[in-house]
Amino acid sequence: MEIRKNKHTMQILNTILGMLLLGLILWQFQFYEVGGLLIIVASMLALMFLYTTTKPQEYFIRDERSERINEKAGYHTFWILFVCLAILTMVNWHTELLYKDVSSPLFMIAMGSWIIFRWYYYKKGYDSDT
C-alpha cells in the first residue's frame, strides 16, 4: 500500500490533521458537541484520504460514458423535481405550505431519483439514447 506524496495530498492531510487537533482542543475545553463532530468528520476524511491516495490517479478520471450517464440522470432528475415543485405550488394555492416543510422531502426525492437514474443508465448501457 503506497500512498501518493505530492503537494496536493499533503495539503489535504494537513487539513485533516488540523481538524482533528482542533476537535481535540475543543473537547479539552468542554465543547463536546463541536469537538466530537470535528473528530468524527476528521476520522471519516482520513479514511477517505487513505482510500483515494492508495489508488492510482488514473483510477478517478471519468470517461465519456460516465459523464454522459451523469448528464442524462441530472436532466431527468431536474424534470422530476420541476414537476414536484409544480404540484407543490398547486397545493399551496389551497393551503399554507412553507418551504421549510417541503425542503427535506424535495431533497430526498431529487437525490433518490438521481441515484436511481444513474444506476439505471449504467445498467442500460451507453448505446441507447433516450
The per-residue pLDDT for range 71-89, each reduced to its tens digit, is 999 999 999 999 999 998 8
Alpha-carbon distance 63 to 47, whole Å?
25
Q: Which of 41, 60, 79 is the last residue of a domain?
A: 60
Indicate yes or no: pTM above 0.85. Answer: no
Number of domains in the chain: 2
The residue out of 60, 77, 97 marking a domain boundary is 60
Residue 129 belongs to a domain = no
Domain termination site, one of 21, 45, 60 = 60
For 106, the domain range is 64-124
At residue 128, the pLDDT reads 55
Same domain, 82 and 108: yes
Whether residue 53 is found in the same domain as residue 84: no
